[in-house]
């Protein structure tokens, strides 16, 4: 993200992130971020988006909030970061407060349980869509696909803790994907 971005107004930054914040759900937010930042506004290219996402995932806190800080800062410095974070957080916070009061009032209603089950199913679909849209290139390599299947089997079928699974599988994945391994294979 080293290229200077075109000057974008703070109101436009706030509005773009507020729209993402109010229309996205759970893990599907990465798809909304990509759509808005790469395709609609063209504030980032695909490589910049993936780099910002990787940084966002390594920092503590929500990926979407971390991403908004990075992109807002790129566009307008500290004020841009603040506008992006406020845009990302305020709509969701307001909706959550209203829904929290509604849930407290109607939590024993069986219709509420049905709606929440539907929301959970939609969230699974969104996560699958995001995974396929962003990570499809990585799924083309047989080596990576083996690890995806292994993690799915351990966590989804055997119900091994995700933390334990990652602690066991991650060192092997990192070792097999360390810099220079592809170069050595091509030179052999």
pLDDT in tens, 36-65: 999 999 999 999 999 999 999 999 988 899
pLDDT > 90: percent of the chain: 45
pLDDT-derived band at 130 (thresholds 50, 70, 90) equals confident
Q: Are 10 and 83 in contact (CB under 8 A)?
A: yes
Residue 17 scores a pLDDT above 80: yes
Long-range contact set of residues 118-125: C-beta below 8 Å, sequence gap at least 24:
119/25, 122/25, 123/25, 123/26, 123/27, 123/28
The count of structural domains within the chain is 1
Residue 170 inside a domain? The answer is no
Residue 126 inside a domain? The answer is no
| Residue range of the domain that includes 76 | 1-106
Residue 15 inside a domain? The answer is yes
Residue 17 inside a domain? The answer is yes
Q: What is the mean pLDDT of the chain?
A: 86
The span from the first CA to the last CA of the chain, in angstroms, equals 34
Residue 119 inside a domain? The answer is no
Residue 102 scores a pLDDT above 90: no
């Amino acid at each position: 993200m080293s290229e200077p971005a075109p000057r974008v107004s703070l109101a436009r930054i706030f509005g773009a992130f507020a729209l993402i914040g109010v229309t996205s759900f759970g893990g599907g937010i990465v798809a909304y971020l990509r759509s808005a930042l790469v395709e609609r506004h063209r504030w980032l290219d695909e490589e910049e988006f993936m780099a910002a996402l990787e940084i966002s995932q390594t920092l503590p806190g929500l990926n979407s909030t971390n991403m908004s800080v990075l992109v807002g800062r790129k566009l307008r410095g500290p004020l841009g970061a603040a506008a992006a974070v406020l845009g990302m957080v305020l709509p969701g916070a307001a909706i959550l407060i209203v829904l929290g009061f509604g849930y407290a009032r109607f939590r024993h209603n069986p219709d509420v349980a049905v709606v929440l089950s539907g929301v959970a199913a939609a969230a699974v679909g969104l996560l699958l869509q995001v995974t396929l849209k962003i990570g499809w290139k990585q799924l083309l390599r047989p080596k990576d696909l083996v690890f995806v299947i292994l993690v799915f089997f351990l966590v989804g079928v055997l119900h091994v803790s995700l933390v334990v699974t990652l602690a066991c599988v991650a060192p092997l994945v990192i070792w097999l994907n360390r810099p220079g391994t592809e170069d050595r294979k091509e030179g052999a």
